[in-house]
Structure 1
């Protein structure tokens, strides 16, 4: 059985300066599958996308996104449609990120200080997750961010090296330091995980909590 979201109407995320990505087209309401109120059934993913049809750690998360099952590795310096192999991107991009109806997800990471809000009119898809991560980290560093980052030991050299490498790969690329440059070489997506203590600590006081907050795991 395929991941139950596969083949259903889904949004196509568009970038927004506030990093909230609404659906381009409103979708008609769809009755949720009968199993939404209970434990989701085992999920099948095409060979080469996940090691198992269900994540043992995060059974409600699409195995193509869960850090313990996903085989999809891509460099978030490049657009996911270009960085993820077509055999994985094509059949997975419209699958729902979660087994229950979800119109709001929040991505955080121990590798970067920003939170990424994904808001859609229909269910959040795997493509929404990948593209939201990429689009957010392509933003130019603000003056206040720059002022804070350069005070951290070794951070200035890391950013400058990242910008240099990016320009060597594409001389026409934007010379302005970007959020992605803060990561150095740790730009390989390895999936999503949950960390209750980190999520609680990461939440800005008096800000709204998001039930579906997931931690982005990255590596070199």
Structure 2
């Protein structure tokens, strides 16, 4: 059983966790599973590094714990909020010590969303926005405004994947991609499946 953290104050640490297992996804660490993370009010804005926004004793005390009981070497992240697949793979380590941690998952999602948008991403968005789909039109306008401001400042235009999320940048946990349904919508047929495929959920920031 995973240990409960000590009591602490809000400036450096979060309130005590009252839910220490996920009902929906018990194999997943409770600070990664959407239901238990929300029950503990453990959410954070992924625009900043997890080390910056997660209370220090939580980051240090839980960041090195296994993300899942199976200690997977490969976790795949998909989301309804973006059209990419994020593959997270364990670094080389001695036999029996390899596996992905909570910190690996938090940090790799953040790092992946800092990557620049590609021309193909923009073309995809333009095509969807042309269908008058409201969410895509709002995303197109948001990204276009960022680019316009950079041009006005005579800067190179650099749009990042985190900009694609607009204001839905608060990471609230993972849900299993049952039947790989979302994954299959995002990739070409025949791509090899990863047993640990999870959907990253986000909500609006205040």
Q: If the length of structure 1 is used for normalisation, what is the TM-score? A: 0.71
Go from structure 1 to structure 2 and tell me whether the alpha carbon gap of 1:90 and 1:142 turns closer, same or farther (over 3 Å shift): same
Q: Secondary structure at the match of 2:87?
A: strand
| Residue equivalent to 1:215 | 199
The one of 66, 75, 78 aligned to 2:48: 78
The one of 76, 100, 110 aligned to 2:80: 110
Q: Which moved more, 1:113-122 or 1:194-203?
A: 194-203
Equivalences for 1:57-68 in 2 at 5 Å?
57-68=24-35
Equivalences for 1:49-198 in 2 at 5 Å?
50-70=17-37, 71-120=41-90, 121=92, 122-153=98-129, 154=137, 155-161=139-145, 175-196=157-178, 197-198=181-182
Q: Secondary structure at the match of 1:191?
A: strand
Go from structure 1 to structure 2 and tell me whether the alpha carbon gap of 1:114 and 1:183 turns closer, same or farther (over 3 Å shift): same
| Residue equivalent to 2:132 | none
Q: Quick one: distance in 2 between partners of 1:174 and 1:89?
A: 35
Q: Contact (CA 8 Å) 1:72, 1:88: kept in 2 or not?
A: no
Is the helix fraction higher in 1 or 2?
Answer: 2
1:166-187 alpha-carbon deviations (Å, 9 max, x no partner): x8xxx9x985111111110000
Go from structure 1 to structure 2 and tell me whether the alpha carbon gap of 1:78 and 1:102 turns closer, same or farther (over 3 Å shift): same
Q: Secondary structure at the match of 1:68?
A: helix
Gaps of 5+ in 2: 8-14, 93-97, 130-136
| Residue equivalent to 1:45 | 4
Go from structure 1 to structure 2 and tell me whether the alpha carbon gap of 1:59 and 1:142 turns closer, same or farther (over 3 Å shift): same
Gaps of 5+ in 1: 1-41
| Count of matched residue pairs | 174
Q: Contact (CA 8 Å) 2:78, 2:182: kept in 1 or not?
A: no
Q: Contact (CA 8 Å) 2:33, 2:174: kept in 1 or not?
A: yes
Q: If the length of structure 2 is used for normalisation, what is the TM-score? A: 0.76
Q: Cα offset for 1:156?
A: 1.6
Q: Which moved more, 1:129-138 or 1:79-88?
A: 79-88
Q: Quick one: distance in 2 between partners of 1:80 and 1:192?
A: 16
